[in-house]
Amino acid sequence: MEFIDFSIRDTDTILSPGLVIFRQALQHNLDEMIRQSGGVARLRPHCKTHKMAAVIKLQLERGITRHKCATFAEAEMLASCGVIDVVLAYPLVGPNLRRAVEFKMAYPLVNLRVIADHEQPVADLASAMKKANMVVDVLLDLDSGQQRTGLPPGGRAMALYQQISNSPGLRAGGLHLYDGQNHQTHLDDRTEAVLQCWALADAFRNQLEKKALRVPRIIAGGTGTFPVYAAIDDSVLELSPGTNTFFDAGYGELYPDLDYVPALRILTRVISRPTHETLTLDLGYKACASDPALSKRLAFPSLTGPEVILQNEEHLVLKTFDAHRYQPGDTLLAIPGHVCPTSALHKEALVIDDGRIVDTWPVSARDRWLTV
């Protein structure tokens, strides 16, 4: 897939490797997210991609009031921005059970909701909340086939939802359905898979309601699947896109039907010319996510036939037909193959508008702990 190339007018003062965000592309992505959702009413975007308060404020300006996160640091960032409806979509165990109480004490106006998939943490959370004279919403995490977290719809899931409903200190908050196994490139195939997941969740919801167990919401979808869920007409369904905010090269290749632009890039410099056909950049895996395969780790829109052949902690060697055009000190813009962990590797990002630096945004929640 070919990606739009961007430029920065003056890079002399920019340290490399460093994050740059192209504001117009980001704004396009936020607006496209809303368009695909049919408005903001059902949107609950995940902040794990950017972890930036400045991005949350842009979403709030657009009327997106419900949000989702994976860490208490992200939850604190959301609360500090004025978000009052937060889902922490990560199983709480160990000290995080105590942190749920501390968060609610620190941010009493925020409606914190959490997820669970096991009887013991549910019992422990209920005990902690009851002792603090608090109540927290708990969503049952459903496993639709990824087998990462969650329970498959069935008897044990039914019993756990009943346990949540009956536990003082807890309130049944609905279902959480992340179908992370659905990465089908063709939209028809993806749609078929999503509808199968939804059918399971819908049938399970009906079983719960027949037992007089309330299901106030079902949070579903991810980057590639939330547009399919958006076509489902159900009053309790909430849509949970994630990477769409910044987008990246990985999803750009995987989902050609999505109209998003990689808004975050890494400014990098040539530091050596080992051969006539290779460039060495200051873009090691301490500056970008290394979970994609080497061939899919980064995209370079300005280069012809780039091939990453080596990456170490602080170095990246690539082969390109354009190597002769570059000398040490020259800059390039790279698109991460996986943007979410890339943004967490940096303290801040420069914001670019019309080719000029206009702002600096901290990566507010990159740490695991802020105050709670």
- Every domain range in the chain assigned CATH 3.20.20.10: 23-247
Q: What tokens appear for 1 in the block?
A: 């897939």
Query: Quick one: pLDDT at residue 167?
Result: 99
For the chain, the average pLDDT equals 98
Query: Quick one: pLDDT at residue 2?
Result: 80
pTM, two decimal places: 0.96
> In angstroms, rounded to a whole number, what is the distance separating the alpha carbons of residues 238 and 221?
9
Q: Are 46 and 63 in contact (CB under 8 A)?
A: no
Query: Is pLDDT of 1 > 80?
Result: no
Query: Quick one: pLDDT at residue 228?
Result: 97
Question: Above pLDDT 70, what percent of the chain?
Answer: 100
Judged on CB neighbours under 10 Å (0-12, 13-18, 19+), 352 is buried
Report pLDDT digits (tens) over 76-111.
999 999 999 999 999 999 999 999 999 999 999 999
Query: Quick one: pLDDT at residue 61?
Result: 98
Report pLDDT digits (tens) over 211-266.
999 999 999 999 999 999 999 999 999 999 999 999 999 999 999 999 999 999 99
Query: Is pLDDT of 29 > 90?
Result: yes
The whole-number average pLDDT for the span 5-19 is: 97
Q: Are 145 and 160 in contact (CB under 8 A)?
A: no
Query: Quick one: pLDDT at residue 150?
Result: 98
- Every domain range in the chain assigned CATH 2.40.37.20: 258-362
Q: Which CATH architecture has domain 23-247?
A: Alpha-Beta Barrel (3.20)
The whole-number average pLDDT for the span 46-58 is: 99
Give the CA distances from residue 360 to residues 196, 229, 295, 356, in Å, rounded to whole numbers and listed in that order. Answer: 43, 35, 31, 12
The whole-number average pLDDT for the span 58-65 is: 99
The whole-number average pLDDT for the span 325-354 is: 98
Domain 258-362 belongs in CATH node 2.40.37.20 = yes
The whole-number average pLDDT for the span 130-148 is: 97
Report pLDDT digits (tens) over 155-180.
999 999 999 999 999 999 999 999 99
